[in-house]
Amino acid sequence: MQHLNNIKLRLVEKAEINALHDISRTTFLNAFADKNDPDHMAHFLSENLTVESLTLEMENPETQFYFAETDEALLGYMKLNTGKAQTETHLDNAMEIERIYLWSHWQGKQVGQWMLAQVLEKARAAHFDWVWLGVWEKNTEAIRFYNKNGFVEFGRHVFMLGKDEQIDLLLKFKL
């Protein structure tokens, strides 16, 4: 296993859109395909995780994509939103973690914990008051992870997976 001190976080460059597309689709499928209708998954992927949609997201100055990697491997990625790029505006002076995913073989090896620590560090350095995210109410493992890290529920919203209305818990962390 790689030591956590060998991991680095860096901004995804526009020229890496195909790598971002690949990891976005594959990690989303790995996380949710076995718990959802294949038609809803296919619809979501075709609307939300395409090269075109990811390119548009990357062009927003209030959105940043990061790769977590070692010299040898790409481990995961995340998408952070600020300002009007956030999917909800319940909190003032906040940063949203819209996506944070790892290749499945890196899960359970403290990489997600390391990535979350990097987000909190970035948010503090930028003088935000809050970090928040939405997590599917049926993703009990993720909810437990965020609760363990001090995130508390402050609301709910509907997440459309294709034509399936799902409920996300909104979790926040006070910096």
118: left (phi over 0), alpha (psi -120 to 50) or beta: alpha
CB atoms within 10 A of CB 141: 10
Burial annotation 143-174 (CB, 10 A radius, 16+ → b, else e): beebeeeebeeeeeeebebbeeebebbbbbbe
End-to-end CA distance of the chain: 31
Q: Which residues contact 167 (CB under 8 A, 6 or more apart)?
A: 136, 137, 156, 157, 158, 159
Q: What angle do CA 17, 69, 3 make, to 5 degrees?
A: 170
CB atoms within 10 A of CB 34: 8
Tell me which of 66, 77, 101, 146 is the catalytic residue: 146
CA distance 29 to 27: 5
Q: Is 146 a catalytic residue?
A: yes
- The residues annotated as belonging to the active site are 146
